[in-house]
Amino acid sequence: ESVDATEPVETFEMMVESLPSTETCVKFIDTFPPAPPTNLVAVANVGTINLIWNASSEADLAGYQVLRAEATGERLQPLHSDIITETTYRDTSAIAGVDYVYAVVALDTAKAPNISGPSNQVQETPR
């Protein structure tokens, strides 16, 4: 005997209940870094180097940190410990005649700030 499975024979409705689940509190943690600053430019002056760059546009942007090395190929190190909110920085610790390489990173407002990749690098020598 054959059965036609395209025609329903009977329809069942069922409702299932369970005990309430345990409440859970969820806290979202921001792990996404801001976009890197762009178009970093350095201008040398007497005893200083002025840096300017384009801002990152994230809503949770806290600010920037300037990185510096004394020669191409050296590891870039933070030039200051505080977060700066402007898109300009004047390096007054630069020594005349020494070549410096700079980059800038963006930091967000997360409790442990997420740090962007570095901007483009620029090289300049103060007079």
pLDDT higher than 80, residue 39: yes
Lowest mean pLDDT among 28-32, 42-46, 111-115: 28-32
The 10 Å Cβ neighbour count of residue 81 is: 6
Domain spans of the chain, in order of start: 1-127
Query: pLDDT per residue over 80-125, tens digit each?
Result: 999 999 999 999 999 999 999 999 999 999 999 999 999 999 999 9
Amino acid at 83: I
C-alpha–C-alpha distance, residues 42 and 102, integer Å: 8
Closest CA to 123 of 44, 37, 39: 44
What is the percent of the chain with per-residue pLDDT over 90, rounded to a whole number?
A: 73
Who has greater pLDDT, 73 or 116? 116
Who has greater pLDDT, 10 or 94? 94
Model pTM?
Answer: 0.79
Q: Top-level CATH class of 1-127? A: mainly beta
- Of all helices (H) and strands (E), which one includes residue 62? strand 61-69
